Amino acid sequence: MASSTSTSASTPAWNNTKTRFLTSSNHLIGPNSSLVSICPKPNSRISQNLIVSALQTPSILQIPKQAPMKASTGAIEVSCSPVGKENWNLVQKLAAMALDAIEDGLKAREKLHALPKTADPNVQIAGNFAPVSEEPVRQSLPVDGKIPDHIQGVYLRNGANPLFEPTSGHHLFDGDGMIYAVKFDKGSISYACRFTETQRLIQERAIGKPVFPKAIGELHGHTGIAKLVLFYARGLCGLIDHTQGIGVANAGLVYFNNRLLAMSEDDLPYHVRITPSGDLKTAGRYSFDGQLESTMIAHPKIDPVSGELFALSYDVIQKPYLKYFRFSPDGRKSKDVAIDLQKPTMVHDFAITENFVVVPDHQVVFNMSEMITGGSPVVYDKEKVSRFGVLDKYAENGSGIKWVEVPDCFCFHLWNAWEEPESDEIVVIGSCMTPADSIFNEYNEELKSVLSEIRLNLKTGKSTRRPILSPGNDVNLEAGMVNKNLLGRKTKFAYLAIAEPWPKVSGFAKVNLSTGDTKKYFYGDRKYGGEPLFLPRNLHSAGEDDGHILAFVHDEKTWKSEFQIVNSVTMELEATVKLPSRVPYGFHGTFINTKDLATQA
């Protein structure tokens, strides 16, 4: 398999992106592998507000709460726990050797059995799903065509990019977070990609190997239980500090209250700053000035009218399994609203309307006891009936939620929702996937993702569901968006990735949600990309579709990547930016305009 030929000042290029993963250095790691700039000197400004606390980290890895020292800048929390081999005492070094030997034995035993495709790194991160090295800022990139005048700012996309070669099971979602950025500044275009410096990544890099269990790829059966025990043991021995977060921050991106936040649903968000040159610097784990004490899913919603941010947090061990909360435009958090679920459920996404939040409670649930019998803790519950809950945005508690059953429906993502008061209905637009848990568990059946209109009648408590595309025009549509200026209001169009051949994306579709009329754009022969981002021309455009669609694209013939800009009215390519290095297929993105960049915190 071909590999990227570019090199980076901060991470060496990998000789073989499929089988060899090299560690990288970073300015945060000192010559003796200690965290020289994470733990400030006593007289430095960051240390003036030292506090002792530990944020809860409810996830599939339930960590006993501890209280290490932590430096706080108010909103940003960074660990001051020593990590790195050079800081270990003799007892810790002996413990590390013993635990490593046990782990090596587990891995040797694992290799006696074939991994399922959903946990096989040779499948999950092959080809252009393979990771890349960090790329420092490259300026003055070549362009074919003309960049539209309104595109001024920076496009950012998140992705899973493992720092180390997987030594056992690995799922695509398990990789470390890396952000890819293209900045447009008055005709000059730059590119950079950087790891989000999560606590997990910092500690593993200092130790020189992966030590945090991978929630999807590794936690299967008795071996998964053993790896959890090893993880706890390393924490108890002081070899790692798991109280400061275990997340990878590799999924969603949102710009809110003057901060770019990188998110995955297993941790708090991470605040990442964009430098004037277009580079990326992780500021730290972000708790909204200590207000957020739980995880936050990777798809919070910003209401385009009120400017508020709405979010959820789920727990897989203890009730409440799901919580809802919101933030005012200046970052003040509401109290948590517990949503009563009978089982811990995967809630990857949700929707908002003008007055409500719409919460899915589907059939993909967490059952930790499955590990005892050799299975995955992420399972499809065939006895459960899928439903959607509708709750007032400003509810003080969850007692007023109205549940409407929608049988055999699993939407990994919801694109929009709105109210139709004349019929007492909430309209939800989402992609219904079957088999529901095929992303996490192996099936012979091919995955189908059907763009659907789901109507929830709040008066009768009944639902209807219809496919939006006509049968002859049906394609897998997964990952995309509507015009963000109309989120929560009735929209005419959605812009969604054509996820074919699955899991690659060959182009995108502009879909009329009322009629099902579809216009398709394909990236080109053996060119594949990811989620399309619709960027409206401005807030006051006459047409809902007046703007451009932005996407990273990779050419599998030349093994080079580019950035395409497509007119969303004509569906014609207007400009292509040639990128200096390969960009792997990834997850979700956002665009921050120049005006907002100037007000970064």
Instruction: For Cα atoms 411, 591, 575, give the angle at the middle one, nearest 5 degrees.
Output: 105
Q: Which residues pair with 280 in a beta bridge?
A: 274
Between residues 110 and 1, which one has the greater pLDDT?
Answer: 110
Q: Per the annotation, does 554 bind a ligand? A: no
Residue appearing with tokens 């409407």: 404
CB 599: neighbour CB atoms within 10 A? Answer: 8
Low-confidence winner among 46-55, 178-187, 584-593 (lowest mean pLDDT): 46-55
Low-confidence winner among 183-192, 368-377, 545-554, 583-592 (lowest mean pLDDT): 368-377
What is the strand order of the sheet 477-481 is part of? 477-481, 493-498, 507-512, 518-522
Q: Two tokens at 184?
A: 């447009």
- Which pLDDT band, with edges at 50, 70 and 90, does 123 fall under? confident
- Residue 34 pLDDT greater than 60, yes or no: no
CA distance 71 to 163: 26
* 114-198+247-599 classified as CATH 2.120.10.30: yes
CA distance 77 to 81: 12
Q: Per the annotation, does 588 bind a ligand? A: yes
Q: Two tokens at 395?
A: 């509810």
198 and 174 Cβ atoms separated by less than 8 Å:
no
- Tell me the per-residue pLDDT of 176-202, one tens digit each, with 9 for 90 and over: 999 999 999 988 999 999 999 999 999
Which residue spans within 345-447 are E strands per DSSP?
351-352, 356-361, 364-366, 378-380, 387-392, 402-405, 411-420, 425-434
- Tell me the per-residue pLDDT of 398-408, one tens digit each, with 9 for 90 and over: 888 999 999 98
- Tell me the per-residue pLDDT of 501-514, one tens digit each, with 9 for 90 and over: 878 899 999 999 99
Mean pLDDT, to the nearest integer, of 472-488?
Answer: 88
309 and 350 Cβ atoms separated by less than 8 Å:
no
Of 240, 222, 286, nearest in space to 63 by CA: 240
Three-class SS state of 60: coil
pTM (2 d.p.): 0.83
Average model confidence (pLDDT) for the chain? Answer: 82
User: Percentage of the chain with pLDDT > 90?
Assistant: 48
Residue 35: the pLDDT is 33
576 and 143 Cβ atoms separated by less than 8 Å:
yes
128 and 528 Cβ atoms separated by less than 8 Å:
yes
Q: Per the annotation, does 113 bind a ligand? A: no
Residue 310: the pLDDT is 97
Low-confidence winner among 32-46, 256-270, 298-312, 506-520 (lowest mean pLDDT): 32-46
Residue appearing with tokens 């100037």: 598
Structural domain spans, the chain: 114-198+247-599
User: Percentage of the chain with pLDDT > 70?
Assistant: 83
Between residues 421 and 445, which one has the greater pLDDT?
Answer: 421
Between residues 367 and 162, which one has the greater pLDDT?
Answer: 162
Q: Two tokens at 58?
A: 């409810």
- Tell me the per-residue pLDDT of 551-587, one tens digit each, with 9 for 90 and over: 999 999 999 999 999 999 999 999 999 999 999 998 8
- Residue 53 pLDDT greater than 80, yes or no: no
